[in-house]
């Protein structure tokens, strides 16, 4: 992922009389860029520095480095001391590895400034010294022009490897259709079967109207429906005809077709033309009598007006007051009912009638998430007649919040994952596929958005959690659904249980030495995520004890930088496998290398 340019300086002089474990420091600086975008890296990263002696790893140190516009500088050896003996080699190189990337190539060659020695003839020089040139060890390093001609001490790092080839481009558009091919027409096919009979044609125009026929004979005179006459006459006065009878009364007090109400007796009279009735008259003179239709009457109930109402979706009206009355029936005995013209919005179950006597109320709570208009009709019944009044209820649409149901609390072990967990979403107004699902964590050291994978479609979504490597603890995971107007969240707890991570040990590379000689102090890197490096126990064993036994193995170093020095038995040659074991108190891990003595 990373590409770097760097410079190396040595901040110490190498003494010919240095002790094998004399510590030294190495000052290193450079520039780090992204190999994909070529942008300068900004931020912090873990960097592993390793010294090699002709591909033999002799030292290693891991440092957390801050990068400012790609530039960085570090003093190597500050944490893990560097044995100055290493710098006696002219094949020393530095390897650099950033984060989880592979080690950069090529490695950096390490050079040192020339060493000055005391003159064997003069102990000191006083005054000006004029030299035509300067040589060290017989090698010219400064020429007669005062120019440095010795070996190059500071090497520029080479460019990183080229990035991978980009993805193929999209397929081009289809070419135009080719011309029709030539060829003669085929033979005529056989005659097809006769088709079905067509539909009947439209009806012709109506013929002319015939002549009017002769007038028929006049029919006999029928009886008059006096009950109907009385009902029609009383309808405009809100009287209800209950029963009736025909009576002959003296004509002195009545005129024909006159409506007279007798409140004392509960009767209403309608005078009729006596000559239209087939009823039998009294024997006295007909001129003095009028045929009356007499019936009992009752007035209709009354109800007050309720004004039109306007409410929002998922709300209800207040208790809307109205009054009822009747001249003959007590208000407590009047029956009130209600109905709705739009039962998808309001049905009888959504209307509550209350109150007593003349003072009544109605409360309307429309169905959930419904909007529109309905006419509410109130009916009052006195047992004989009814009366209605109505009002219009308008329910305004409002945006309903989306809904989300998370998977519930989860428990996994360190370096594990939950797999795809179900998350169900919905919205009354917005299609489920148009809702946006996001997730966040309360403990980003354990799990961040980069370790969460959201998938699924429509109402069925999933979330897959894979906490950071070697991290454990708990975090509250919040899943949020957004309909672009309102958001709704649900939370659940993720618990990650810790497990013991194995320690690590890196043995030196295979090597060969001469008979009756010893190896140098070979570097051995050890580490453990839970156990301090200084608490790890390093041991070594040989497969060929006739050549090398435990008495010929010396383990040294401290912390994460350990060493092993091997002095084979005198006069012996051969091959042995050296096994290095690191123990964190729970687990033992081994690594090996081969030593050849010739």
Q: Is the model's pLDDT at 114 over the cut of 60? A: no
- Section 281-298 average pLDDT: 52
Q: Which of 275, 299, 323 delimits the end of a domain?
A: 299
Is pLDDT of 518 > 70? yes
Lowest mean pLDDT among 28-37, 63-72, 268-277: 268-277
Q: Position of tokens 């020695």? A: 117
Q: Point out the least confidently predicted range of 182-196, 226-240, 285-299, 469-483.
A: 226-240
Q: How many domains does the chain have?
A: 5
Highest mean pLDDT among 98-112, 115-129, 144-158, 198-212: 98-112
138 in a domain, yes or no?
no
pLDDT level of residue 199 (50, 70, 90 thresholds) = confident
Q: Would you say residue 117 has pLDDT above 50?
A: no
Q: Are both 21 and 68 inside the same structural domain?
A: yes
The whole-angstrom separation of Cα 329 and Cα 510 is 116
Which range is most confident: 63-67, 109-113, 137-141, 281-285? 63-67
Residue 281 scores a pLDDT above 60: no
In a domain, 155, yes or no: no
DSSP SS3 for 120: coil
Cα separation, 568 vs 573, whole angstroms:
8
- Shared-domain flag, residues 324 and 373: yes
Is residue 446 in some structural domain? yes
Whether residues 454 and 372 share a domain: the answer is no
One domain, residues 360 and 440: no
Query: Looking at residues 118-128, what average pLDDT do you find?
Result: 46
| Assigned token pair, 468 | 């950071």
pTM beyond 0.75, yes or no: no
Model confidence at 224: pLDDT above 50: no
Whether residues 287 and 330 fall in one domain: no
Cα dihedral across residues 182, 187, 192, 198: positive or negative: positive
Question: How many CB atoms within 10 Å of residue 118?
Answer: 8
Polymer length in residues for the chain: 598
Decide if pLDDT at 233 tops 60. Answer: no
pLDDT of residue 221: 44
Residue 421 and residue 319 share a domain: no
Q: What does the block give as tokens for 191?
A: 């005659």
Q: pLDDT higher for 242 or 341?
A: 341
In this prediction, residue 21 carries a pLDDT of 45
Last-in-domain residue among 353, 374, 396 = 396
Please indicate, yes or no, if residue 29 is contained in any of the structural domains.
Answer: yes
User: What is the percent of the chain where pLDDT is above 70?
Assistant: 69
What percent of the chain clears pLDDT 90, i.e. is strictly above it?
A: 49
Same domain, 470 and 382: no
Cα–Cα nearest to 448, from 473, 422, 466: 466
11 and 104 inside one domain? yes
**104 and 17, same structural domain?**
yes
Q: Does residue 510 surpass a pLDDT of 50? A: yes
Is residue 144 one of the residues assigned to a domain?
A: no
Which of 68-72, 284-288, 502-506 is the least confident region? Answer: 284-288
Q: Would you place residue 100 in the very low, low, confident or very high pLDDT band (cuts 50, 70, 90)?
A: confident
Averaged pLDDT for residues 464-477: 95
Region 478-506 average pLDDT = 95
Q: Which residues does 349 contact at the CB level (< 8 Å), separation at least 6?
A: none
Q: What is the pLDDT of residue 121?
A: 42
Q: How far apart, in whole angstroms, are the C-alpha atoms of residue 481 and residue 442?
A: 18
Q: Given this model, what pLDDT does residue 275 score?
A: 42
Residue 365 and residue 333 in one domain: yes
Confidence of residue 167 (pLDDT cuts 50, 70, 90): low
User: What confidence tier does 486 reach under pLDDT thresholds 50, 70, 90?
Assistant: very high
**Whole domain around residue 447: which residue ranges?**
403-497
pLDDT at 115: 45
- Higher pLDDT among residues 108 and 477, named by residue: 477
The verdict on 329 and 284 lying in the same domain is no
Burial class (CB in 10 A: 0-12, 13-18, 19+), 583: middle
The pLDDT value given to residue 423? 97
Q: Tens digit of pLDDT for each residue in 392-443?
A: 999 999 888 999 999 999 999 999 999 999 999 999 889 999 999 999 999 9
> Do 576 and 563 form a contact (C-beta atoms < 8 A)?
no
* 175-179, 325-329, 434-438, 546-550, range with the lowest pLDDT: 175-179
Do 394 and 341 form a contact (C-beta atoms < 8 A)?
A: no
Q: Which helix (H) or strand (E) holds 296?
A: strand 289-299
* 520 and 593 assigned to the same domain: yes
Indicate which CATH number applies to the domain containing 345. Answer: 2.60.40.10
Please confirm whether the linkage preceding 106 is cis (ω < 30° from 0). yes
Does any domain span residue 153? no
Determine the pLDDT at residue 193: 73
| 143 in any annotated domain | no
Average per-residue pLDDT in the chain?
A: 79
In whole angstroms, give the CA distance from residue 492 to residue 476.
6
Provide mean pLDDT across the span 29-33. Answer: 85
Q: How confident is the model at residue 346 (pLDDT cuts 50, 70, 90)?
A: very high
Higher pLDDT, 134 or 158: 134
**Lowest-confidence region among 221-225, 358-362, 543-547:** 221-225
Q: So what's the pLDDT on residue 377?
A: 97
Average confidence (pLDDT) over 357-362 = 96
- The domain boundary, picked from 497, 529, 545, lies at 497
Q: Are 83 and 61 in contact (CB under 8 A)?
A: no
* Residue 551 forms part of a structural domain: yes
Q: Could you tell me the pLDDT band of residue 54, with boundaries at 50, 70 and 90?
A: confident
Element (H or E) spanning 230, and its range? helix 226-235
């Amino acid at each position: 992922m990373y590409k770097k340019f760097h410079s190396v300086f040595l901040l110490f002089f190498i003494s010919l009389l240095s002790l094998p474990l004399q510590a030294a420091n190495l000052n290193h600086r450079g520039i780090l860029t992204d190999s994909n975008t070529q942008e300068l890296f900004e931020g912090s990263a873990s960097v592993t520095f390793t010294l090699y002696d002709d591909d033999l790893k002799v030292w290693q140190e891991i440092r957390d480095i801050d990068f400012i516009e790609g530039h960085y500088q570090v003093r190597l050896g500050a944490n893990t001391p560097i044995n100055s003996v290493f710098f006696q080699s002219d094949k020393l190189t530095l390897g650099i590895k950033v984060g989880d990337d592979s080690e950069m190539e090529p490695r950096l060659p390490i050079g040192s400034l020339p060493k000055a020695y005391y003159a064997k003839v003069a102990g000191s020089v006083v005054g000006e010294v004029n030299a035509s040139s300067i040589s060290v060890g017989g090698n010219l390093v400064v020429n007669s022009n005062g120019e440095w001609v010795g070996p190059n001490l500071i090497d520029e790092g080479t460019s990183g490897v080229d990035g991978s080839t980009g993805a193929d481009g999209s397929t081009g558009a289809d070419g135009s259709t080719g011309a029709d091919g030539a060829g003669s027409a085929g033979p005529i096919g056989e005659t097809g079967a006769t088709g079905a009979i067509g539909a009947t044609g439209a009806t012709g125009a109506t013929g002319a109207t015939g002549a009017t026929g002769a007038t028929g004979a006049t029919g006999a005179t029928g009886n008059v429906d006096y009950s109907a006459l009385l009902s029609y006459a009383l309808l405009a006065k809100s009287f209800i005809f209950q029963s009736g009878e025909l009576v002959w009364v003296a004509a002195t007090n009545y005129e024909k077709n006159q409506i007279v109400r007798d409140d004392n007796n509960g009767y209403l009279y309608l005078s009729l033309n006596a000559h239209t009735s087939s009823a039998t008259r009294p024997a006295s003179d007909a001129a003095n009598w009028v045929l009356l239709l007499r019936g009992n009457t009752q007035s209709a109930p009354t109800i007050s007006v309720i004004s039109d109402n306007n409410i929002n979706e998922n709300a209800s009206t207040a208790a809307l007051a109205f009054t009822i009355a009747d001249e003959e029936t007590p208000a407590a005995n009047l029956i009130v009912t209600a109905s709705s013209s739009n039962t998808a919005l309001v049905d009888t179950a959504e209307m509550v009638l209350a109150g007593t006597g003349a003072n009544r109320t109605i409360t309307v709570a429309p169905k959930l998430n419904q909007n529109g208009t309905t006419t509410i009709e109130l009916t009052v019944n006195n047992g004989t007649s009814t009366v209605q009044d109505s009002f219009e209820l308008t329910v305004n649409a409002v945006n309903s919040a989306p809904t989300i149901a998370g998977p519930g609390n989860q428990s996994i072990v360190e370096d594990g994952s939950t797999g795809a967990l179900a998350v169900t979403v919905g919205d009354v107004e917005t299609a489920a596929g148009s809702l946006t699902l996001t997730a966040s964590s309360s403990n980003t050291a354990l799990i961040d958005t980069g370790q969460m994978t959201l998938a699924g479609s429509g109402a069925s979504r999933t979330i897959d959690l894979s906490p950071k490597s070697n991290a454990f603890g708990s975090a509250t995971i919040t899943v949020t659904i957004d309909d672009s107007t309102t958001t709704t969240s649900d939370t659940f707890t993720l618990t990650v249980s810790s497990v013991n991570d194995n320690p690590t040990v890196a043995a030196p590379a295979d090597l060969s030495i001469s008979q009756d000689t010893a190896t140098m102090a070979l570097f051995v890197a050890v580490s453990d995520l839970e156990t301090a490096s200084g608490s790890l126990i390093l041991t070594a064993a040989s497969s060929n004890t006739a050549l090398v036994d435990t008495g010929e193995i010396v383990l040294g170093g401290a912390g994460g930088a350990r060493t092993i020095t091997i002095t084979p038995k005198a006069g012996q040659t051969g091959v042995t496998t050296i096994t290095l074991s690191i123990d964190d108190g729970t687990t033992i891990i081994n690594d090996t290398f081969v030593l050849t003595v010739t």
